[in-house]
Chains A and B, each alone.
Chain A
Amino acid sequence: MSADDSFCVFVPGDMLAIALGADELVLALKEEAKVRNISLEIVRNGSRGMCWAETLLEVQTKNGRVAYANVSACDVKGLFDAGFLTGGDHAKCLGLTRKIPWLARQNRIIFNRCGIIDPLNIDEFKAAGGFSGLLIALQMSADEIIEQVIDSGLRGRGGAGFPTGIKWQTVAREESDTKYIVCNADEGDAGTFSDRLIMEGDPFRVIEGMTIAALANGAKTGIIYIRSEYPFAIKMMRAAIDKARGANWLGDNINGSEKSFDISVFVGAGSYVCGEETALLESLEGKPGIVRSKPPLPAVKGLHGQPTVINNVITLSAVPDILARSAKWHAELGINRSTGTLPFQLAGNVARGGLVEMAFGVSLRTLIEDFGGGSGDGSEIKAVQVGGPLGAYLPPDDFDVKTGYEEFAELGAGIGHGGIVVYGGDTDMKVQARYAFEFCAEESCAKCTPCRIGSIRGKELLEADTINTELVDELCQIMIEGSACAMGAMTPIPVQSAMKHWPQDFEGQGK
């Protein structure tokens, strides 16, 4: 990549790196290179997912890329002095990127290009295997594509875990001139950022997955619903869609195939419930995100009353490799009914947070201890919450559980979108349980009573001087049985798991 007199460095352009000063770093690199009369090419790649090492500066050397961790603008002079352009040693040097154990141990399939290529360079994308799944799908009938996805065992990565191929089959069997592919990028679960990383680091993969879904279902229109809290992902997806259209990978007669499909971006407006598929459809129609009653399923009557596929970003991003490599290959990854890989996200009070893509079956302990390195403040880990604000709090005794949909269900937990939030020793679980109700009260769409009133009553019960846990349990039961959607029905999960595992936190005087 680098000629004798020119050097190539990589500075992530993703939202986290920018939040940590990556733009200032780029300016400092340019300035110092100019002073030293060095020709420097700076690529703004996506993130490698090593959030603990951001901003991660990489330089291309003869032996491969060499990484420097937690680099900021003030390190630049020292790095040049240390000869970093040829991989020179420095206190922040991590050695060859591909040999960093944290990365080397992962099974990166969905994130295979993320952090490596220039996210908007379509040629680099293709050279790294991009569009090979779509090219195969273009040769197949719709039924054949669906059969592949069913056989792969792929399940929805948004949290519900519904078999993707079955959803597609339902839409494909509906007779309608108008069908939609909606990509749900309303990644509102705290502790999750895999959608953001793939959209910012490998946006063409999302486009490829959506296009394959369109071929399987006969849809001509795709919409990607991105939350407004992700301005960089919005910009990146829009730019990638324009480039893909320019190169005839979207639009009419895709790559000479006589098939047509196009995608637009819709920006959310700050509402957690809009991640629920029927609320998302309402929101797309310009209305408040209030959940619809099911049936009819969105697959039958979705956007504007038409058959609609709604899949999560990561679900769609998993599809290209299933087509390119085979359903059997995918089905053999993972355990039991959880096939393929999941990009887990380590967050909260954790020493080495970031994105870890592994096949299902890896234990929670491996993720938290081996990858995460324990808590960030050195305290003993008290709890982890898996699967977002509606996920269960699990104590260290449960950490040997293998990751999988059914394996987690046995613990009364869910794997959700793969987010793992770590809590240190000084966490008061009563405060966390109360927060679950507060969050539900804040974000409830207010359509059904158990969620609207129950969340406020729950908060009040946990604010009382003496906590009546029996009453809290009873309220939880009503919310579980009577709520219209997962918001109200799953808020009791964090509450009840906290009461079950840490009863001492609910005794005595409340606050």
Chain B
Amino acid sequence: MKKWDDQQALQIIRNSADSGQVLTHGIRQLVDCFGYVDEIAIDPLAKHFLRSKAEVYGVIQYYSDFRTCAPGRHVLRICQAESCQATGARKLTEYICDKTGITLGQTSKNQRLSLEPVYCLGLCANGPAAELDGQPMAGLNKTKINTLLDRLQS
């Protein structure tokens, strides 16, 4: 992910709006580039997509992919949906939270890791499933998680 850049963000917003795309497209482009939407972008988003600032804010709040603060360097999304529950996702999530000292939805103080819930990755026959920085993982257990977290800490 790139560090937030006002000028580049403005360019992204302009390009998206000028090509006739909808508001969520513009926000998606920002999130794909910087990992989040800085609040400073709400004003130009509103202006270029002809929406009120409240509407822009409402869209960002509504969708779980969108956020207004930077995520950690690594984002671990752990599936919380039923199929993964049936294979022990709840206990595994508790274990991960204990080991990392943060809960779902939080970012570690050193900005190294964010934990997030995700509701179904479509890997339901091989739970528990998760995704680290876009890389899917299935059939998880404590051993695999330990290896993974050790790698992230080093």
**How far does the alpha carbon of A422 sit from the alpha carbon of B86 in the complex, in Å?**
7
Q: Is A267 an interface residue (CB 8 A)?
A: yes
**How far does the alpha carbon of A188 sit from the alpha carbon of B124 in the complex, in Å?**
11
Cβ-defined contact, B124 with A272, below 8 A: no
Residues in A neighbouring B24, C-beta threshold 8 A: 269, 283, 286-287
CB-CB under 8 A for A54 and B126, given A189-B120, A287-B59: yes
Cβ-defined contact, A443 with B82, below 8 A: no
Measured between C-beta atoms, what is the minimum distance from A340 to chain B in Å? 23
Cβ-defined contact, A188 with B120, below 8 A: yes
**How far does the alpha carbon of A196 sit from the alpha carbon of B49 in the complex, in Å?**
32
Binds B, one of A16-24, A203-211, A325-333, A482-490: A16-24
Residue of B nearest to A439 (CB): B119
**How far does the alpha carbon of A271 sit from the alpha carbon of B86 in the complex, in Å?**
22
Cβ-defined contact, A376 with B65, below 8 A: no
Measured between C-beta atoms, what is the minimum distance from A354 to chain B in Å? 5
**How far does the alpha carbon of A188 sit from the alpha carbon of B136 in the complex, in Å?**
17
Residues in A neighbouring B138, C-beta threshold 8 A: 16, 19-20
Measured between C-beta atoms, what is the minimum distance from A49 to chain B in Å? 9
**How far does the alpha carbon of A16 sit from the alpha carbon of B121 in the complex, in Å?**
9
Q: Is A346 an interface residue (CB 8 A)?
A: yes
Binds B, one of A131-139, A158-166, A227-235, A499-507: A227-235
Cβ-defined contact, A435 with B85, below 8 A: yes
Residues in A neighbouring B126, C-beta threshold 8 A: 16, 19-20, 51, 54, 353
Residues in A neighbouring B62, C-beta threshold 8 A: 271, 288-290, 445
Could you say which interface size class chain B belongs to?
35 or more
**How far does the alpha carbon of A286 sit from the alpha carbon of B17 in the complex, in Å?**
12
Q: Is A320 an interface residue (CB 8 A)?
A: no
Measured between C-beta atoms, what is the minimum distance from A115 to chain B in Å? 14
Residues in A neighbouring B58, C-beta threshold 8 A: 288
**How far does the alpha carbon of A231 sit from the alpha carbon of B131 in the complex, in Å?**
11
Residues in B neighbouring A424, C-beta threshold 8 A: 86
Q: Is B106 an interface residue (CB 8 A)?
A: no
**How far does the alpha carbon of A374 sit from the alpha carbon of B137 in the complex, in Å?**
24
Cβ-defined contact, B136 with A19, below 8 A: yes
> Of B64, B86, B125, B134, which one neighbours A270 at CB under 8 angstroms?
B64
Measured between C-beta atoms, what is the minimum distance from A190 to chain B in Å? 3
> Could you name 12 residue pairs across A and B whose Cβ atoms are closer than 8 Å?
A20-B126, A20-B139, A51-B126, A188-B120, A195-B122, A269-B65, A271-B63, A289-B62, A347-B86, A348-B87, A421-B83, A424-B86
A-B pairs with the 6 shortest C-beta distances?
A286-B22, A353-B125, A190-B81, A348-B86, A347-B124, A51-B125
A residues with CB within 8 A of B: 15-16, 18-20, 51-52, 54, 187-193, 195-196, 228-231, 267-272, 283-290, 345-350, 353-354, 376, 385, 389, 419, 421-424, 427, 432, 435, 439, 442-443, 445
